[in-house]
Amino acid sequence: MALLAWHIWLILGIIFIIIEIFDPAFFFLSLGSGAIITGLLALSPFVKRYLWLQILIFAIISFIAFLLMRRLGKRVLADSGPQTNVFALKGKLALVTEAIPADGRGRAKVGSEEWVATTADHSAIAEGAKVEILDIHGNKLIVKEIEQ
């Protein structure tokens, strides 16, 4: 039994969808849907005769599916909820407990925890100053002084 064109398109579509399971970027899902729809259209007598038409249909449907999946993916992934763990500290206020020298490290207290802190612009901050946490790199806070 020889494989017909629509068999090949359906097999490709299934393979692309399986790949999407391991690489959730919505790219292979659009290729898979394009291949499956092309396979179904390849059952018609007109499309069955022309390979170039099947490839064109696959390209157009995959491109449209990619645009729609990308829009859907952005909407779904944009609202990932509030930050958790140490990244929830971004934007919070801290108190400098050990002066931060220019191009150096000091310490800052957030809640009941004390962290190593450095400034984003490599400026010095005196002990007792209030700072805002801009970012976290490893186990140190990147802070800026709050103007009072």
Per-residue pLDDT at 11:
95
* pLDDT of 133 strictly over 70: yes
What pLDDT is stored for residue 78 in this prediction?
67
In the chain, CATH 2.40.50.140 covers 85-145
* CA atoms of 111 and 19, how far apart (whole Å): 45
Banded model confidence at residue 71, pLDDT cuts 50, 70, 90 = confident
If 0-12 CB within 10 Å is exposed, 13-18 middle and 19+ buried, where does residue 16 land? Answer: buried
End-to-end CA separation in angstroms for the chain = 81
User: What letter does residue 91 receive in the DSSP assignment?
Assistant: T
- Name the residue with higher pLDDT: 79 or 90: 90
pTM: 0.53
Fold entry, domain 85-145 = OB fold (Dihydrolipoamide Acetyltransferase, E2P) (2.40.50)
Q: Mean pLDDT across the stretch 127-137? A: 90
CA dist., res. 98 & res. 118, Å (int) = 11
Question: Cα separation of 141 and 135, whole Å?
Answer: 6
The mean pLDDT value for 23-42 works out to 90
